[in-house]
Structure 1
Amino acid sequence: MQAEPTHTSTPPRSDVLVVGGGPAGLHAAFYAGWRGLSVRLLEARGELGGQLMALYPDKTVYDAPGRPQTRAADLVRALEDQLAPLGVDVRTGEVARTLEPDGEGGWVVSTDQRSYEAGAVILAAGLGALLPREARVPGVEAHPDVRTDLPDPAELAGKRVLVVGGVPQATRAALELADAGAEVTLTHRRAGFRGETGELARLEELRSNGRVRVFAPAVLQGLTPQGAELTVNGESVHIPADTILVLNGYLPDLSPLQGWPLEWDGEYVPDGQGGETSLPGVYVVGDLARSGKDFKLLSLAFAQAAIAANHAAHHVRPDLKVRPGHSSERGGYPVGGEERAPSR
């Protein structure tokens, strides 16, 4: 049975709440903020970027508008940079679970941590919340601190940390933990690791000067209360560890959203003009929108995000026209909330 959300506090109401921090969600948040609205964005993972960061941050993307042959991670950073001046309240590590009317024409979205009120909601959850794969390794129940997602590096400063995995997140975790002062060991069943060129070069540098121990290829035989047992070149090696990170990638999970009354069509939410769903003030964009179906393209997601955000702006603030006008005629980002007015 799914646990009921527990709430520690209720932050101030926002004009628009975006669920999902992938490319579609980031662009929707940008456009709503560009219109001068207060915007909050929820992302299930501990970092923004959706599939681009969770599944293939080191791969080259060829169809991003205006960015030929760009790395997925670099595209995400550019979207974050575009969003940064607008004061969007970004909440990572929170899975949206319930949707309820607030009794005043808006909505309340609840996570495991708290509830958020908003005048409009834009669903940009893609294939679902990208949740880390389980740590399916022998003896996982024996060790007191086994984790499956990127931690706050500062939390593990001074500790002995074993990072298991060859995904880009494993490389990044090893580097960030070493910088934070952790004693890091990195291992993988294959010899190679994934990551951007600069990260891999720095990993080799830290390996050479002894700041990160690397065992690859190696076989993880099992975990113990004190650490892990590896087989390296046919010999047994004991790795003492206070914390073990087993990073094996992520799997999409739509179940937290499929209880929302959105007239679901399988894995899609039916959408009409402007991304409207069957609920007033709730919009859907990107891979989750039925109108796109198998056209899971960045260019389509960006277009849907822009259109839905502008319709949401008009829904929350009827004095704002749906059509935003040309950005070149605005003279820059909204300054001091010059278009912003409270949603109630």
Structure 2
Amino acid sequence: MLESLQRPQSSVTVVAVIPGNQRGAAVADIRRAELAPGSGSVLGCVLGLRGGGGGGGRLVVWDAADREAPPAAVDDSCSDFSWEEVSSSSSSSISSSSSSSFRLVAVGCECDLKLLQVTVQRSTCVSVLCVSHCPADELLQTLTEQVDGDEQLRELRSMRVLSFAAGRCRALLNDHWLLQLQWRRQEEAEPQKLTWRRLGASGDGEGRAAVHHCLCRDFLFTLGSSGLIRVYDITDGCLLASVDLPAYLSSVPVDEEYVFPSSSSFCVLQVSADLSTAVAVTQTHAAVAVDLDLYFRMFPQHLLCAAPPAGPPLHAQQPGDQDRLLSSSCSLAALGSTFSPDR
């Protein structure tokens, strides 16, 4: 099946290809799919049972470009996964003329975490090897020891992988705890680094009911079904800003042909790499793009991390002749320079 989207003001065509390989999964069964970075054809999918509920399923990996190679399935059920991001200088993926190797982290339905090694060889079965396993009870015990007395840490209810790059995995537990694991070597059995951060309180509780998350640089964006986006600093969990999509849509002029329905329920969020634009999608397949610079100029009170001016204003507080020495001295002081009247 081939779907394409032609952008009217660009010559670029965005194409999503789902292979017609009979060994692959039926499109209706796929709950989540992601290509391995740098592979071009190695695809991981979480398959759900038809007619079944819940977000878990069976993790299946196959090479979409190789019709002869059968897929490989992970035995345990899976609720989320993420391939390891690769770079030109990274050794996280190993390739040769005959085979390629990739890594991914998978979250089980019991909130356990596995590091899997996937090896793909032409015309042969894809192999999946479990390199490391972090049971849910061990994660919960470690977290409870660090934050003793929190009533919300008696069980792990949910876990979502936010990113996996250079052996470092970031995940969100119970919708408000940030977990970071570090595997320093290629086939290390246990992670070497374990850190926790709690997300700052949102005040209305919606941050804990987020339907989608997006990690961009060192910022975590969460999306509520009502269209409320919250921005957190992943280094300390502090709440930095919020974006109210319904308030934004009611404040900007729109064409009557594209009136956004007020009852829409949001489900997907993506943020550009330069942090300039956020795009949210509803369950009715409507999309909203927000220029974040414009938004925070319209709603400066939603930017909680705005820094106060570091120095005095460039203009003198008392209006006067801009050609006087006092005016020049004030401007140079604001720039951190000194003024010599003898020059």
Same fold (TM over 0.5): no
Which structure: greater helix fraction? Answer: 1
Rg larger for: 2
TM norm structure 2 = 0.24
